[in-house]
Structure 1
């Protein structure tokens, strides 16, 4: 089965931005975070297809 999510570090590398940018600006610019787990052990991840669509949309509007 193909992976559906990537973590914050992988998302930052894919977008060529910092991890801090993904946490701070990602949701503001339309990247939808998904939280897995509860409390301090929760992990923020992003759906790969949604990140790719977001990139395509940004490239098309530029």
Structure 2
């Protein structure tokens, strides 16, 4: 998933993902360097991360 798709899926802003993804445990994969670098996420990792964020009742 690209960063825009993940932001939409999680209902957060793209800028939030850039600032907080790695810090919150979501692992971004960077392809390229500098401003042209592409940030991608593994779908299964995003789904697992969401499951871990659920609050137990």
TM-score range, shorter chain: 0.7 to 0.9
**Can you give the 5+ residue segments of structure 2 that lack an aligned partner in the other structure?**
none
In the alignment, structure 1 residue 11 sits paired with structure 2 residue 1: no
TM-score by length of 2: 0.88
CA RMSD of aligned residues (A): 0.9
1:23 alignment counterpart:
18
1:37 alignment counterpart:
32
Q: Give the count of matched residue pairs.
A: 55
Stretches of 4+ moved more than 3 A in 1? none
**Can you give the 5+ residue segments of structure 1 that lack an aligned partner in the other structure?**
1-5
**Higher share of residues assigned strand:** 1
Q: How far apart are residue 42 of structure 1 and its match? A: 1.3
